[in-house]
Structure formats: C-alpha cells, structure tokens
Amino acid sequence: MDQIKVVARNRKARHDYQIEDTYEAGIVLQGTEIKSVRAGRVNLKGGFVMRRGNDLWLLDVHIAPYDQAGMWTHDPTRPRKLLLHRRQIDRLIEDIQRKGYTLIPLSMYLRGDYAKVEIGVAKGKRQYDKRQDIIERDHTRRMQREWKKFSRDH
C-alpha cells in the first residue's frame, strides 16, 4: 500500500460548508510545483473547482514558487487541471448544477509519487448552522472532560 503524506488541509471548509460527498482527483502540476508541494508549501484556503468544457479545474489554490527554480518558476495561483474518470466528472458536474452546491478542495496529499487532491461536493452553511456546530463541539468536549474526570475518580 502506498504511503499517504498530507501536505495541506482546508480547515475552514468543514466549518463553512456541509460536505456531502468526497472524491480523490489527480492534479496536473509543473516540475517546480511538485517540488513545492513536496515541501508542503500549499494553501487551499479560498480554492474551488470549476468546470471548463468537459474538464474540471482547480482555481485559486496557492502553491508557493520553488526557491531554487530561479526565473523558470510557476505562477502560484494558476488554474490546474484535475484528473478524474469520465463518469466521476459527469457525476460531479451534475452535482454542482443543483442549486447551492459547489466543489471545494478539502486536502492535498502525496500518494506514492503522485500529488492528489480530495475534493468535496459542498453546500454552504448558514450562520446559525455554524453556531450550532460550535455549540455541539463545546458540549462534546465538556462531556469528554467530565467522563475523564469521572473515570479517574473511580
């Protein structure tokens, strides 16, 4: 089994969106980009996936320029093509045509020698949904603390 090394996570994604489904996609990178990805110099915040023709493209994801590349470095926020099976692309296009749904990158990781992106079919959360999630998370933490204290005493 190939080793997986997570390079970047979009931490705000699960806070701002309700993730309904996830997919693993390959990504087309230039030589200097893969070196920056291996160094972990990736920022997924604000990134999204858009349809262009019959392909899906990753936009607004920042991969820092590779320092040793000199003048032959890449544009940090250039659009990058995603590699998926045709049936997966068709299903994702169908999903994002529904009202309120979008595709966002959740994480980027290295599987063996290849860079992969986990993309999620997401629906934006309203402000009160976000507050409810925070209340539930605090409640769960409090319960775990109490249980740990109770277990220690008995």
Summarize pLDDT for 11-32 with one digit per residue, the tens.
Answer: 888 888 889 999 999 999 988 8
At 1 the pLDDT is: 56
Q: What are the pLDDT digits (tens) for 59-81?
A: 999 999 987 877 777 788 999 99
Average pLDDT, the chain: 89
Give backbone dihedrals phi and psi of 73, rounded to 5 degrees, phi first.
Answer: -85, 175
Q: For residues 122-151, give the mean pLDDT.
A: 83
List, as one string, the DSSP characters of 87-111: HHHHHHHHHHTSTTEEEEEEEEEEE
Q: Where are the domains of the chain?
A: 4-125
The CATH architecture one would assign to domain 4-125 is: Beta Barrel (2.40)
Paired with 24 in beta bridges are: 118
Look at the chain and count its residues: 154
pTM for the model stands at 0.78
